[in-house]
């Protein structure tokens, strides 16, 4: 089989890349061994907000800004073109603090969010926060309310991108990639368990499994899996009108009528099984934020593994020493947020050899030595 571009991986990064390439009339084949959105892209929370939670920009910042714009564009076009509602919803974020140090930190983050990003945000008392959501824990010492944060259904988003790409000619192949086809320093395709694909360009978007390509490329790909687990709860009462957060924990009502809450961060290798320990931890956290959930029951518990680099940032762009091969991974907990940006940047690199987004800091070269 021959194609213009072969993409290894059927998660958000790979499928978004296929989508944007297909819009440009490029012939694409996506190879996935399990199924579209069968791993993190199908079981993530799906929060779409800027990444400046630390109160300062990180090296993902340019891709995050681009991706935020692209998500807003996809909201309308995907449903029209595919009939899939990605459940894109915008609501306030209510961030709680339970001691003075936490309150000082979230106010610092709020200042950067408001002054640098231009997102409306304000520090409020616990009583003022309760006007938005009366069921919060009144032991909080204060809160920050910010506007314009969005969440969506990550599985629906990924499937919609895949359907749209397929309608533009992208082919999805369910097989296992076993290696790369090489012509000196040029990568000319991939070998499969059941054949091979010749291609002008190759994209490795395999999430945490991208590290398996080290032997193929003869270089270190420092990506490890970070396990995360989420509970979807049946909770009595009206939906929560905001996304409630505390530290790295969150809870919000989604379009399925359930309260989604999590998430854990576990170094557990490639284990994707839900655990009782994580379930208890998440329950403890959500009850701290929203005590009324003590009577909630679990509708679903999910677990997935996300790709994480040593500095927590993306690995995006060409692979050194090789021609016509690109890395597109490392989204960690922000993979859904960053997915469209990853896809657009990779498309531009393949078509034009460059991107309007500065991705030099995201090159795999930063880990040399």
Residue 312: what pLDDT? 92
Q: Where are the beta strands (DSSP E) in 184-313?
A: 186-192, 195-204, 224-234, 243-246, 249-253, 259-262, 297-308
CA angle 167, 172, 177 (to 5 degrees): 160
Residue 48: what pLDDT? 86
Q: What are the tokens at 258?
A: 């359930």
Domain spans of the chain? Answer: 2-81+154-223+310-367, 89-151+225-308
Residue 54: what pLDDT? 46
Residue 56: what pLDDT? 53
- Class in CATH terms, 2-81+154-223+310-367: alpha beta
Low-confidence ranges of the chain (pLDDT < 50): 52, 54-55
C-alpha torsion 363→198→175→228, nearest 10 = 10
What CATH number has the domain spanning 89-151+225-308?
3.30.9.10
- Tens of pLDDT, residues 240-278: 999 999 998 999 999 999 999 998 999 999 999 999 999
Q: Are strands 195-204 and 325-329 parallel, antiparallel or unpaired?
A: parallel
Residue 58: what pLDDT? 82
Report yes or no: 227 and 266 within 8 Å, Cβ to Cβ: yes
Q: What are the tokens at 144?
A: 């920050």
Give the separation between CA 126 and CA 88, rounded to whole angstroms.
28
Report yes or no: 38 and 172 within 8 Å, Cβ to Cβ: no
CA angle 11, 12, 13 (to 5 degrees): 95
Residue 57: what pLDDT? 66
């Amino acid at each position: 089989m021959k194609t213009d571009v072969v993409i290894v991986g059927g998660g958000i990064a790979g499928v978004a890349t296929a989508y944007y390439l297909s819009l440009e009339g490029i012939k694409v084949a996506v190879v996935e061994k399990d199924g579209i959105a069968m791993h993190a892209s199908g079981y993530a929370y799906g929060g779409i907000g800027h990444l400046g939670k630390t109160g300062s920009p990180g090296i993902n910042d340019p891709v995050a800004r681009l991706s935020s714009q692209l998500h807003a564009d996809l909201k309308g076009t995907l449903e029209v073109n595919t009939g899939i509602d990605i459940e894109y919803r915008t609501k306030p974020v209510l961030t709680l603090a339970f001691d003075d140090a936490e309150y000082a930190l979230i106010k610092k983050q709020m200042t950067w969010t408001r002054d640098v990003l231009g997102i409306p945000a304000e520090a409020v008392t616990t009583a003022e926060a309760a006007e938005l959501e009366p069921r919060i824990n009144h032991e909080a010492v204060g809160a920050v309310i910010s506007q314009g944060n969005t969440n969506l259904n990550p599985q629906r988003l990924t499937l919609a991108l895949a359907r749209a790409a397929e309608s533009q000619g992208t082919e999805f192949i369910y097989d296992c990639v076993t290696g790369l086809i090489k012509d000196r320093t040029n990568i000319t395709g991939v070998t499969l368990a059941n054949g091979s694909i010749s291609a002008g360009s190759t994209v490795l978007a395999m999430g945490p499994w991208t590290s398996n390509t080290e032997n193929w490329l003869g270089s270190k790909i420092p990506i490890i899996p970070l396990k995360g687990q989420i509970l979807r709860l049946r909770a009595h009462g009206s939906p929560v009108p905001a996304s409630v957060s505390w530290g790295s924990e969150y809870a919000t009502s989604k379009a399925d009528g359930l309260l989604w809450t999590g998430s854990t961060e576990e170094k557990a290798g490639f284990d994707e099984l839900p655990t009782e320990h994580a379930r208890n931890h998440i329950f403890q956290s959500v009850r701290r934020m929203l005590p009324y959930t003590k009577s909630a029951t679990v509708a679903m518990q999910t677990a997935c593994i996300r790709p994480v680099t040593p500095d927590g940032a993306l690995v995006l762009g060409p692979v050194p020493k090789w021609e016509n091969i690109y890395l597109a991974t490392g989204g960690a907990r922000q993979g859904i947020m960053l997915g469209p940006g990853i896809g657009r940047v990779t498309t531009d690199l393949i078509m034009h050899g460059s991107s309007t987004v500065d991705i030099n800091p995201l090159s795999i070269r930063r880990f040399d030595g």
